[in-house]
Structure formats: C-alpha cells, structure tokens
Amino acid sequence: MSWDGVSERRIQTNGISLNIAEAGEGTLVLLLHGFPESWYSWRHQFAPLAAAGYHVVAPDMRGYGKSDKPAEITAYNQVEVVKDIIGLIPALGYETAIVIGHDWGAPTAWATALFHPDKVRAVGGLSVPFMPRSPVQPMPMMREMFKGQFFYQLYFQEPGVAEAEFEKDLKTGLRKFLVMGGGETDLTALPPKTEHDDLLSNLPDPEKLPPWLSEADLDFYTAEFTRSGMRGPLNYYRNHDLTWEMTEGAPTQIHQPAMFVAGTADGVVMMAAEAIKAMPMFVTDLRLNRMIPGIGHWTQQEAPDAVNEAILEFLSMVDG
C-alpha cells in the first residue's frame, strides 16, 4: 500500500457486505475498479484526493477480494451491481456522491449516473466510454462480429473454463494478463488466435515487470484472487444479455458533469473509438475528455500523476 492513511472495513449494502478501502473526509468520491483488479488498483489516488478534502472510498466490487461473492451467475448483472454502489452512499452517511469507475467499474459508474441522477452529482469513466443501451441483443451481435476468431469476452462465457485457466497458476496468469493490457505491449504483435484457443497459454510471459506494476503489487493481486477465486469477477461478462433485458427503455443521456480519461494505447479505446467520438451527444456535460499518450488499459495505475491531475481538475470544476 502506497499510503498509510488508507483503512478497510465492511459495509452492508443491497443485501450483501462489501469490503471498502477509504481515506480522508469531506465530499464522497466512490472509485470503482474493473477486471481483474481490486480496491488496490486505486492505491495512487487515495492520498491526493484525501489531501484535497474528499472522502475517497474504493470498494472491492461484489465477487472480489473480501467482499461477498453471491453464487448465482445472474447476481452479477449491472442492475444489481449498480444497487450495491447506490446503497453505499446512505450506508456511508451521505445523500449524494461523485462516482468514477475504470474498466467494468466505468459502465457501473455511468449507469449510477444514468439511473440515479438524484444520488450521483458527477460521474467519470476511465478507459470505457458511456454507450447508450444497444438496440440489439449484445451476445448474438458479439458472436457474429467475432465469428471464428478469439475474443476474450466470448471465451469467458462458458462457466468454469476461464476460471480453471487462471486458477491453475494465478500469479503467472495475472502477470501475463496485466502486462498484455499495459502500454508497453504492442497488441498488434501478439500471436493470432482462433475461437478454439485459450486466453493465456500463447501470451508472452514477461521477464520483467513494467514500472507501474511491482512484484509487491502482483503479490497483492495474487493473494486477493487466491482468496476470492475468479468466478465472481468472470460472471460480470456473463450478464450482457440479462442486463440488456433488464434495462429496456433506459434513458440515453447523462446530464451530470462528467469526465472521461483513457490511454492512447488501450485496446478498449481502439475497439470503442466510435463510441468515444459519439460520447458528447449522450453525455451532455462532458467537462473533461482527455487521452493520455502511450499508456494502455490500466489507466490510473500506469499514469497515476496524470490521472490524479485530471480527477482533481474535474472535481474543482464540479465543486469550484
């Protein structure tokens, strides 16, 4: 842990208990992590945000770390996950919060703002832009788009398969996956895969870790997933269609003050280029929209100073 002002406790919300890490006092800022991460992915954000007068809270999302891990796959749909986050606000003694998410945490953050405008006064996404609900069902579209090819989200669909691959050697699996997503990896140079391949076996195993990921960081993540397993985290990917069914008639625009930050070498950004371009149509008060050169998918871990600067700049726009 990079700052000793961070403490952990468990909080009841939406019928389950989430582990949270927190620091500081003041306006509530919720930081939501993605896959395969933990509250710890925000380790560089606690000190600067707390010093600026904010109560910074990063939960282990359901299924992760020391948080509860419901057994049913369907328990990981986004409607349910959003209820966890909205429930944290009164549980922590607040009426409203600013919510910022990365990777899977980003769609969750966007959805909290979209469906709970009275509770979320400002919102931010790292790596994953806001996209309104698709007019067509997501999984059939994905299967059509990636027919015959390997696509990690399709590979994650069969319960137990990706779990077994990661869990047979968690530290190696996490090292390969995290380094692959970072800005040091040229994604176009990775070996081609077909739909019959797995995720990790033909990925290069890096001889040394990039500057943003220390052995201690990797050990922390490995211990967390040794405790939690990979089933809950992977279940987020298995609910695309259910979330889509449950959100019929959803609004298409977010009106709260918003920010978006991503790295130019992020594979998600390459896939979502059109959605990023279209975002100002759907996020009507996008006050900060920033690309960080050369970094990959792990935005706030790869470029903590630039991300902290962006978040603080955005918070000062919101709070003056």
Residue of 68, 103, 217, 266 marked catalytic = 103
Residue of 33, 102, 240, 297 marked catalytic = 297
Rounded distance, CA 257 to CA 275, Å? 18
Query: Known catalytic residue: 240?
Result: no
Query: Known catalytic residue: 103?
Result: yes
Residue 207 CA: distances (Å) to CA of 19, 37, 107, 130, 259:
33, 22, 33, 36, 36
Token reading at 50: 């707390």
Task: Tell me which amino acid residue 228 is.
Answer: S
Q: Which residues are registered as beta bridge partners of 29?
A: 56, 98
Instruction: Answer for the pair 318, 288: CB distance below 8 angstroms, yes or no.
Output: no
**Long-range contacts (CB closer than 8 Å, 24 or more residues apart) made by 2-8:** 2/43, 2/44, 2/47, 3/43, 3/46, 3/47, 5/46, 5/47, 5/50, 6/43, 6/46, 8/39, 8/66
- Which has the closest alpha carbon to 260: 288, 284, 279? 288
- Which has the closest alpha carbon to 307: 22, 31, 7, 122? 31
Question: Mind telling me the catalytic residues?
Answer: 103, 297
